Amino acid sequence: MKLVRLLANLGYGSRRQATLLCREGRVTDARGEVLYADDVVAHAQVRVDGEPLDPPQGMLLMLHKPVGYTCSTRDPGRVVYDLLPPRFRLRTPALSTVGRLDRDTSGLLLLTDDGALLHRIIAPRSNLPKVYEARLAQPLRGDEAASFAGGTLLLESETTPLKPARLDVLEPQYVRLTLTEGRYHQVRRMFAAVGNYVESLHRSRVGGLALDGLEAGRWRVLNAIDRRRLFEESG
């Protein structure tokens, strides 16, 4: 692939802007030799202003989403892309969130520009466990764990029952819920179905991946070990 296209696809600017970057001598190889827009160079060899390029297509990253950010590219409020380098929003193929977390939910959010990987993660048959911690407005009644585990619970206005889910009670009004599917507002609606209300919600794990100390608002690119770990645990 020609350098100008490589740079444009990674969000370094339009083709015109990428050509300008090259003309200004800001794009070099690893030894500092200036590169030209038409050169065909391996991604790993290219430097812009002396810095290696952002990861190539096939990027998977983990973001610790804070409360108050929407999983959307267009929203009048704050969006998760505001927490990433502005270039990431301009990449081709686009960087998409792997599923969504509500604006008021915090925790582990994956983003990728790899459509096949995205589908592999969210496909129902992947059975990847997603682990949430929820603070509840009301004490538990006692029958919720059985109700969630039964595989017969129907959410309002749906006709397919939920897959069995595991509920662990950590404190009288603080629980861990493990799901292997991802329906719209699922955790909040599950607790609504048993007469409760979720006051705060956090996702701590997806598959075998955890935030592992990544602070709210921070992100990191996932490597081959992380990817293996992601799929290591399927429910």
Give the angle subtended at the CA of 192 by the CAs of 187 and 194, to the nearest 5°.
Answer: 105
Would you say 61 or 177 has its CB closer to ligand URA?
A: 177
Which residues are known to be catalytic? 102
Would you say 185 or 229 has its CB closer to ligand URA?
A: 185
Would you say 60 or 198 has its CB closer to ligand URA?
A: 198
- Number of residues forming the site for ligand URA (CB under 6 A): 8
- Both tokens of 78, joined, read 């704050």
Would you say 15 or 189 has its CB closer to ligand URA?
A: 189
Enumerate residues 162-221 that contact ligand URA by CB under 6 A.
185-188, 201
Enumerate residues 100-119 that contact ligand URA by CB under 6 A.
101-102, 105
Enumerate residues 74-103 that contact ligand URA by CB under 6 A.
101-102
Distance between the two ends of the chain, CA-based, in angstroms? 40
Residue 34 Cβ vs ligand URA, minimum distance, rounded to whole Å: 47
- Both tokens of 75, joined, read 């929203």
Residue 234 Cβ vs ligand URA, minimum distance, rounded to whole Å: 18
For the chain, strand residue ranges (E) read 27-28, 47-48, 51-52, 60-65, 96-97, 105-112, 130-136, 166-171, 174-179, 198-206, 209-210, 219-221
Binding footprint of ligand URA on the chain (CB under 6 A): 101-102, 105, 185-188, 201
